[in-house]
Structure 1
């Protein structure tokens, strides 16, 4: 199922509309495995940086306070989750307990039998008013039988506001990334085809609605590569979400793509001379998967289930949105989000789903990338090496 921009925005839009602090019912229901034997350690795979910090503060630390004998180990390998889980499966050695992945990667892992199928109503708590979790998340968030949603976020661009060579011009649209004459300087793009190919086609004249049909063809792929070729010599290719913010802060690039939450941290928390360019931001979803094979370790699986019940409930997802500008996946979480937990600023203007930011947003086709990612990854890396 491909989300439309309207459906995705409507699912999380209440997270930025009429936001105010509210008292949560917070009537925590006991997890189905409470009282069962549980492992005293858990390895969580995530992305590092501001996003992982938001997870740690919103629900890992509170969970540890309730479970002081538990040892949580973080592994910042989510960007390579598919390769990592394939390797662990082939070696018959599952070392990860819970893995944070994008929607498309969740689909790939589920299709390959590397992630456990779950019943969302059995593994996550109902809303405080009793609404089943499946209804609270909504079908537009439940994109895979293995996917446990957390947030909606976007890939977008940050740019320096102090570039003398721009002669006072300010980038306002995605195709400015390809305009080296008006906006000279080094760019950064992620070292993978995802998003780059879509943006390149749109800036080569392909309508948003036709991008994936075009990208399925050899001609469309070549058009995307040809467009990217025009800025290839001026591009730094990043592999970690922290790369672009650091490059922008150091002045080594003038333009760069990354996650909107990373840019929020750079702009608002670090007060760097950087602004966000929301045009054609690329919406995505992020959530948990449980590695297939973990069911062979009952105590480890019980620990993961108990943690998930807590970490994905209404209050915890609302708490996460107080630390980073990502929309919570639950409808019931939205009214509980308001100001940043420490800065005291209204989070509404910084959400990717805010109407002021989302007028020309682009919604990724998760199924398409699940089907074509391996093939295009190979072609993309070959093109980079040329």
Structure 2
């Protein structure tokens, strides 16, 4: 009798404990693929172990439609979202996000307050900057045995560097690269794009190679195109090329000249169903150690100054990671910081013009 009662009691305790822990969760929405895997290994598992809060990870394509629909319908299921700059600003302006001033962001490992450990512009009204990534040009060196490309102008020089080019079917970063490839200094790129003459110049730069372009829409396509020798050079995301180099032993090289560096941020959805857990998650993710943890799996650089110093070797291969990070000062060459406000103000018009130009 006593044994039966003890077993029943143990079963009830286990059931109730499981029930309680099942309620402690947070839904995090991100871009999937190798980036999501890097986050899982880099700090998601550590967050779950430290807090007991389960992360329910979902993928999305970066657009606002689903987030907007949830908030407007009063049926929010997401808590935290990985957001790119223009989407972050628009969502914040529309009231779709919680302000971050209610967060208690941790100091750096050596005690520097968070607000002094983040570069200007990476802590915004609704977003906490997490990682830097870059749109770069990558190439297959075996295609160029005599002389390899070394500057962004070479991407647009079909005569000297023959072969087809992979280009993102999206004007963001592509128009900037087109202008730098035509000799525009990075400091002048956005002033140029604010003028009709500058926009025309960007499209004219692309037009010089248009008949050699293979357009891509998914980030996994450029490294595959390079591997298949379908193209000789590709505008791509540095993390995708890095994974092909590091994990697939591809011989690709990145031409860091003319790179466009952007910031990925974490945001909390307005009326998030697990608001307290969402805050805990973003605070944990904002630790320098968490950002460096992701950078041990994928070549995206920590936003926090102290995070860069913590980056060591790749978690799988053991190779040093800092040489692969887009913010490494040793890269040299021309670098452009993606202008979020410019694209918030001009995206619709430039997407329309880009689409029209593609159809000609």
Band the TM-score falls in, shorter-chain normalisation: 0.7 to 0.9
SS at match of 2:100: coil
Contact kept in structure 2, 1:39 and 1:302, CA below 8 Å: no
CA distance in 2: counterparts of 1:38 and 1:103, whole angstroms: 33
SS of the residue corresponding to residue 78 of structure 2 reads: coil
Q: 1:214 to 1:332 in 2, by over 3 A?
A: closer
What whole-Å deviation, never above 9, does each CA across 1:174-233 have from its counterpart, x for those lacking one? 121111222222211112111111121223343322221221122221221222122222
Partner residue of 1:149 out of 122, 129, 137: 129
CA distance in 1, matches of 2:261, 2:119: 17
**1:37-69 C-alpha deviation (Å, 9 max, x unpaired):** 995443322222322221110111222334567
Match of 2:66 in 1: 84
Match of 1:52 among 16, 36, 59: 36
1:347 matched to 2:321: yes
1:30 corresponds in structure 2 to none
**1:90-132 superposed Cα distances (whole Å, 9 cap, x missing partner):** 5544343211122333222222322222117x24223344433
Does the 8 Å CA contact 1:321/1:337 hold for their aligned counterparts? Answer: yes
Is the partner of 1:356 in helix, strand or coil? helix
- Flag the 1:378–1:89 CA change in 2: closer, same or farther, 3 A: farther
Partner of 2:294: 320
Do 1:38 and 1:302's aligned partners in 2 also have CA atoms closer than 8 Å?
Answer: no
Which residue among 133, 142, 150 is the counterpart of 2:114? 133
1:123/1:308 contact within 8 Å kept: no
2:234 paired residue among 251, 256, 259: 256
| 8 Å CA contact 2:177, 2:259 repeated in 1 | no
Distance 1:153 1:340, change over 3 A: same
Residue 276 of structure 1, CA deviation: 0.8
TM-score by length of 2: 0.86
Distance 1:256 1:305 in 2: 39
Cα deviation for residue 149 of structure 1 reads: 1.0
Deviations 1:15-47 (A, max 9, x none): xxxxxxxxxxxxxxxxxxxxx999544332222
Provide the residue aligned with 2:98 in structure 1.
116
CA RMSD of aligned residues (A): 2.4
**TM-score, normalising length from structure 1?**
0.81
Aligned with residue 96 of structure 1, among 60, 78, 86: 78
Question: 3-state DSSP class of the match of 2:331?
Answer: coil
Match of 1:309 in 2: 283
1: CA distance, partners of 2:134 / 2:65: 23
**d(CA) in 2 for partners of 1:193, 1:202:** 14
Aligned positions, number? 341
Distance 1:332 1:230, change over 3 A: same
Please list the CA deviations of residues 280-308 of structure 1 after superposition, one character each: whole Å capped at 9, or x if unmatched.
111111111122232xx3xx111211222
Q: Aligned residue for 2:138?
A: 158
Unaligned runs of 5+ in 2: 1-19
Asked whether the equivalents of residues 169 and 182 of structure 1 are also in contact (C-alpha less than 8 Å), the reply is no
The answer to whether the 8 Å contact 1:178/1:231 transfers is yes
**Do the aligned partners of 1:39 and 1:303 also contact (CA within 8 Å) in 2?**
no
Q: Which has the larger radius of gyration?
A: 2
- Return the structure number with greater relative CO, CA threshold 8 A, min gap 6: 1
Aligned-partner Cα distance in 2 for 1:76–1:305: 21
1:6 alignment partner in structure 2: none
Contact 1:37–1:302 (Cα < 8 Å) also in 2: no
Name the CA distance, whole Å, in 2 between partners of 1:264 and 1:206: 27
Separation in structure 2 between the aligned mates of residue 109 and residue 212 of structure 1, nearest angstrom: 23
CA distance in 2, matches of 1:365, 1:281: 13
Q: Cα gap change, 1:293/1:358 in structure 2, threshold over 3 Å: closer, same or farther?
A: farther
How far 1:271 sits from its partner (Å)? 1.0
State the partner residue of 1:277: 255
Shift of 1:71: 5.1
User: Post-superposition shift, 1:156?
Assistant: 0.5
Which consecutive residues of structure 1, in runs of 5 or more, have no partner in the other structure?
1-35
Work out whether residues 282 and 361 of structure 1, in 8 Å CA contact, stay in contact via their aligned partners in 2. yes
